[in-house]
Amino acid sequence: MAILFLFGALLCLGGWLLQFASQTASGDTSETEIVVIPSGSSVKEINTLLANAGLVRDDVRFSVLARYLGIAGKLQAGEFALHRGQTPQELLKELALVKPIQHAVTIREGLSIAEIADVFASGGWCDAEEFVRLANDPDFLESVGLSSGEKLEGYLYPDTYYLTREERPTEDLLRMQVRHFFAVWNAIKVTAPLGLSPYEVLILASMVEK
């Protein structure tokens, strides 16, 4: 009798979960909705964010389904373009595999540190004042491999960077550009004139530019 009761309970539970998993949300699958999921969000919090975007119902079965599918630990943080008109099961699988949206940020040649800070700040990537402060902080300069007397200006490599919406300290933006500079430098240093250091080449390039 107990086995029959347990079997019946499992059957009801399965039907309860299947009924939710097979519900199709409103909208067409050709349409997408931008959703930002903060780092550290729980499955329940992700469900609420998706529900607010009209992509799924806010339902306890979302968390149960995510765990049943083995997807709960694979749900990502970031900014995503998710398709409408999907079942919760399809939406969960998409969120586990989708790539975050990348935003192109172009740093032109010849910009000062303050101007570079303004470019990033205008896109909401950092606070301009904090960017400039760090760029002139001796301890920070040392942490990126620059010696005393060197200035960060010039090591902030001009290029188009592709950023995703995630929480990142301002120093990561500076480190990103410095790493890019040294990657380029290491590729061309064999042709540097008279064995000049990167800093000396920068000074020379600045004089030529002026």
Residue partners of 96: CB distance under 8 A and separation at least 6: 71, 74, 75, 76
Q: What is the pTM of this model?
A: 0.74
- Give the whole-angstrom CA distance, residue 142 versus residue 91: 46
Per-residue pLDDT of the chain in tens (210 residues, 90 and over written 9): 556 444 444 454 555 667 888 888 888 889 999 999 998 899 999 999 999 999 999 989 899 989 988 999 999 899 999 999 999 999 999 999 999 999 999 999 889 999 999 999 999 999 999 999 999 999 999 999 887 677 888 889 889 999 998 778 899 999 999 998 888 777 766 555 555 566 555 555 544 444
φ, ψ dihedrals at 106, nearest 5°: -100, 125
Tokens encoding 18: 């299947």
3-state DSSP assignment of residue 164: strand
Compute CA distances 169 → 31, 43, 49, 55, 164, whole Å.
Answer: 33, 25, 24, 31, 13
